[in-house]
Structure 1
């Protein structure tokens, strides 16, 4: 069983992979569409690629006519990967904001300067040293890297690791989270990890199609983890790939 901690680590560890994948060529995912649907996706992808190449060629010809356009051209961006990253990051940051608003204690206040009459120089020095120590503690607590902030570094990996620390009861300027807060984190982590795994195609998937085999048996489709989908009849044992029947 996948734990919340594992799901949060999945997001943090694969965030760089998402950044890199956002600029790489598209891999067609036909999982769960059936073999006809998969082939249709291939045809659609080919048509989209031809359309892109046509526009790209026209763009390059226009640059050849304009001598001021120098340098390399940007790599095409995979918009669905960027959409996944935006959704995951927004969900994790919102969750961290909400948990921190209730579970994270406020920073230690800096002691206010006060005027006092001391009977001896020793008393004055002790008081000054105590104020300096309190100021140092307040400063250290305010800049504690374990503290969640509403400004500055607000990224999906940082939010995932901060929420992971709350799940694992790591020390920091926070109380122990409640069962409701832990469930909130679990729900967000599961959705975020699922989106990341699907975008990168790193999770095994299986699904039963509504369409039945000619023998009447149910058809299960297996794919993911970078593999092409395979369909398997639970009745007669027949196996299909996108190329046709491979076992009967």
Structure 2
């Protein structure tokens, strides 16, 4: 399977996961806030300034994040905004790609027979024309398309599935490849099923080097100094 086909299949298959995650109470923030707090607490042992920052963060959490939902003021939104933004962005990009690809490859519907044709031939031709015009494989411009349907429609064009279509030109193939890769990356990032790396603003307490956090894809996040190699896993002692 080509990378483009794999990306499109992932989008289609993972869309229900996004819908399920939309109303959940999890978070897609990266680096994960709780894990970052663990790392910063560990670094606080070597840096009093970080300890002060942690105390300010704890005060903020008590005031704004742990508030009673019945209190007046801002509350957690009913939907996860990051997931919703991902779904809207991906769906819009796929549908726009579908419009452009269909304009390039979709054959016009068969015309109806001229009245000058014999009745039998005209009836047969008109029947074929009607069937061709409503072929479910056709892309409907301005139709109400969903992201999974569009991803599978684009997958069929990439794989050359038979239908009222001309062969996919190289330009449109590259377009699909680029959009599919970007959309798949957004979906995997939103669901936290892809490897992730983030830079931590605080320097290594041992050598002052740059700290990076690695995780995602179900792996426990780990912070590592790029200079001396020291690592932190939650509140574990440095390796």
Q: TM-score, normalised by structure 2?
A: 0.77
Q: How far off its partner does 1:158 sit? A: 1.0
**Pairing partner for 1:98 from 89, 97, 100:** 100
**Are the equivalent residues in 1 in contact too, given 2:98–2:154 (CA < 8 A)?**
yes
- Distance in 2 of aligned mates of 1:30 and 1:241: 16
Instruction: Give CA-to-partner distance per residue, 1:211-248, whole Å, 9 cap, x none.
Output: 653336554421112344211235544221343x4342
SS at match of 1:146: coil
Name stretches of at least 5 consecutive residues in structure 1 with no aligned partner. Answer: 60-74, 117-126
| Matched residue, 1:177 | 168
- Distance in 1 of aligned mates of 2:120 and 2:61: 71
| Matched residue, 1:12 | 12
1:224 aligns with 2:216: yes
Q: TM-score, normalised by structure 1?
A: 0.74
- Distance in 2 of aligned mates of 1:53 and 1:203: 33
- Distance in 2 of aligned mates of 1:31 and 1:230: 10
**Are the equivalent residues in 2 in contact too, given 1:12–1:161 (CA < 8 A)?**
yes
**Are the equivalent residues in 1 in contact too, given 2:28–2:191 (CA < 8 A)?**
no
| Matched residue, 1:66 | none
Instruction: Give CA-to-partner distance per residue, 1:120-142, whole Å, 9 cap, x none.
Output: xxxxxxx3222122112112211
- Distance in 2 of aligned mates of 1:220 and 1:46: 28
1:96-245 alignment to 2 at 5 Å?
A: 96-114=98-116, 127-207=118-198, 213=204, 214-215=206-207, 219-243=211-235, 245=236
- Distance in 2 of aligned mates of 1:108 and 1:23: 46
| Matched residue, 1:120 | none
| Matched residue, 1:3 | 3
- Distance in 2 of aligned mates of 1:179 and 1:7: 18
Query: Are the structure 2 counterparts of residues 28 and 169 from structure 1 closer, same or farther at C-alpha, using a change threshold of 3 Å?
Result: closer
Query: Are the structure 2 counterparts of residues 28 and 153 from structure 1 closer, same or farther at C-alpha, using a change threshold of 3 Å?
Result: closer
**Pairing partner for 2:90 from 88, 108, 114:** 88
Q: How far off its partner does 1:175 sit? A: 1.1
**Are the equivalent residues in 1 in contact too, given 2:231–2:238 (CA < 8 A)?**
yes
Q: How far off its partner does 1:27 sit? A: 2.4
The structure 1 segments of at least 4 consecutive aligned residues displaced by more than 6 Å after TM superposition are 37-40
1:23 aligns with 2:23: yes
1:1-80 alignment to 2 at 5 Å?
A: 3-27=3-27, 29-31=29-31, 35=36, 48-51=64-67, 53-55=69-71, 76-80=78-82
CA RMSD for the aligned pairs?
Answer: 3.4
